[in-house]
Amino acid sequence: MGNKPILLPIETSYLNNESKDCLNLSGKYPGKLLFRSHFFGLISGKVAVLDKTGNKYFYGHILDYARDTHDINLLPALRKITTDIRFSESLRQQASELMEIIEEKSAREKHGRMTTAIIDDSSRAENARGILAGVRYPQTTEILRLLRDKSPELRRLALCLIGKFRVKDMIQEVCECLTLPELSEEAFSVLSEFGGQAGKELTRFYLKYSGNLVAGRAILRLISCSCPEENMSFVFERLWTNSRIIRESAAKALIKCGFKPAEEERKQLKKLIYNIFGQITWILSLKVSLDSNNEAFLAEQIEKEFMRWKKFLLDLLFIAYGKSITSESSKRSSPDNYDKLIPELAGILFTDSRTGKKNISDTETDRKILKKLQQYYPCDLPRHEALPEEIINCDYNVLSVWTKACAIRTKKAIADEHLLESVAALLFSPEWILKEEAARLLNRTDSKKFADIIERLSENDRLRIAPLVKEEQESSGELLFEKTRFLSSVFSPINEEKLLFLAERMKFITCDSQEEIKLLPESIIWTITKENQITLRYISDKRTEDVIADFMQAESVCYVLPLTAIELFRFYDPDDSLVICEYLERLEE
């Protein structure tokens, strides 16, 4: 190989610090999301977003909010719409009329603002908007009173006050709102406004809520927006945390910030990189063993794990080496000579190997790669009979929950006592998809023994599991596994592990549950007949009897995904949520 550099196939979006957004989408739901995510900016008089999108529903939400609240803080946005010839005459006319109404109302106010202790929510909100429009620095007690209110609107206004007047002493209170679905978007926007000044408070909050993955990822995203130098060491240390999701997010944040590790940090990183090459070797051995035994379905899931680990490895290599790797030493041969070993391993995985576009049924290339990697990480090919137990018992941060569920699903029955114990233990897992799949497999294997085991579960768990094991075919639509697989067929670019978040919030409704349809929030509905004919629907809050009857055709069932779940998913994973927004836009056409 010599000293020839190895070019790393890094995504250009990483290097250009690109972020995905729904600004270019024109649908109703993207318009709603845009208004929510840019609410703080609009209220603060920042109207640049109006030049970046042509979504008419976004403008409609601005006008509706101004019409409902007469908020003086929206005058800059309304003025922009009124004077910009890009907008339709009707839209400009509506904005102009609203401006007049708001300005006249403001001029009529002769007395000072009311205090936020006023009982009426509408009056308190109006008072808060008045404070927000003024120049007087608000008292902390005023903001706290609003922030502790039950009304989401008053709490949003409290966050806007903290952001506009840059109340640094309340950054921690804003961080707390990242964990609240109804306030998370506004909290994120306000913290972004503080930029690097919020750095210490962000790390403090992260450590306080270290087990909360949603909050943790949000903090890393915030740091990657401003890249305060004092936070970079903290982000770098997250590469060694237990959570796989946090490690991946930390690597992405470091790349976006253009982080360059110091010499000592680079040494630590090289050791981590070397260990991950070993992890990938083991995963590839699983894949080769499964392919050798024609286990196509499970092999496909292990392939996804392989590619995900390979992507993380690429990120680490880029942080340590940049766009290419050149061997820094070719003479020493000690086991920890990473300067020699890593370029050799990278040469195997990224030049001798497949690019990621190879057909997964082609096992010959995988065998050749594995054989070369085994020279560095000696390991035997796993026995086919032992694979399910090995996958099930593997660390959750090495192989995903979805992959474990797939390993259980591939088994018709359990013949091995050790595997029986491993599957039985999953009945006590916090992951419901594993509980469900384990229960069904145990029941298929030995219903009497399963009945004994299930008695050790809590009453709530027993009541939920019992219907799923009685008639497997009839109950399959209720299973998280089936919901996830269905969502994967609809949103194919998103991996199943992420779609579990939506599957847990999706409902399965039979044709005799029309009353339940009436009570649903705004949702996407898929109706499925016995012939597996799938019809896609997008419904609003206003549903007529005819529409409901049309949904529930004879002998059909429904999958229902509330749009609130998608909104939560968007905050959790903004890049992948763009796939869903684009789908919704096509559905509206």
Q: How far apart are CA 520 and CA 459, in angstroms?
A: 27
Cα torsion angle, 568, 569, 574, 578, sign: negative
Between 123 and 487, the higher pLDDT residue: 487
The residue assigned the tokens 């949702």 is 523
Whether 146 and 157 have beta carbons less than 8 Å apart is answered as yes
Q: Give the mean pLDDT of 181-193.
A: 95
3-state secondary structure of 360: coil
pLDDT band at 358 (very low <50, low <70, confident <90, very high): very low
pLDDT in tens, 12-24: 555 554 556 778 8
**Percentage of the chain surpassing pLDDT 70?**
86
Closest CA to 327 of 352, 348, 344: 344
510's enclosing H/E stretch is strand 507-510
pLDDT of residue 540: 58
3-state secondary structure of 523: strand
pLDDT band at 552 (very low <50, low <70, confident <90, very high): low
pLDDT of residue 96: 95
Going by the DSSP 8-state scheme, the letter that residue 522 receives in this structure is S
Closest CA to 514 of 505, 525, 504: 525
pLDDT in tens, 479-538: 999 999 999 999 988 999 999 999 999 999 876 666 677 677 788 888 887 666 677 766
Average the pLDDT over each of 346-360, 415-429, 468-482, 497-511 and give the range with the smallest value. Answer: 346-360
In the predicted structure, residue 419 carries a pLDDT above the cut 70: yes
Average the pLDDT over each of 62-76, 164-178, 392-406, 540-554 and give the range with the smallest value. Answer: 540-554
pLDDT of residue 400: 97
pLDDT band at 360 (very low <50, low <70, confident <90, very high): very low
pLDDT band at 361 (very low <50, low <70, confident <90, very high): very low
**Continuous H helices in 70-120:** 75-83, 89-108
Q: How far apart are CA 445 and CA 166, in angstroms?
A: 62
pLDDT in tens, 236-266: 999 999 999 999 999 999 999 999 999 999 9
Mind giving me the DSSP string for 364-431? Answer: HHHHHHHHHHTTTS--PPPPGGGHHHHHHTS-TTTS-HHHHHHHHHT-SS---HHHHHHHHHGGG-S-
- 309: which 2 tokens? 């680990």
What is the rounded average pLDDT for all residues in the chain? 87
Please report, to the nearest 10 degrees, the dihedral formed by the alpha carbons of residues 226, 191, 500, 237 taken in order: 50
pLDDT of residue 357: 47
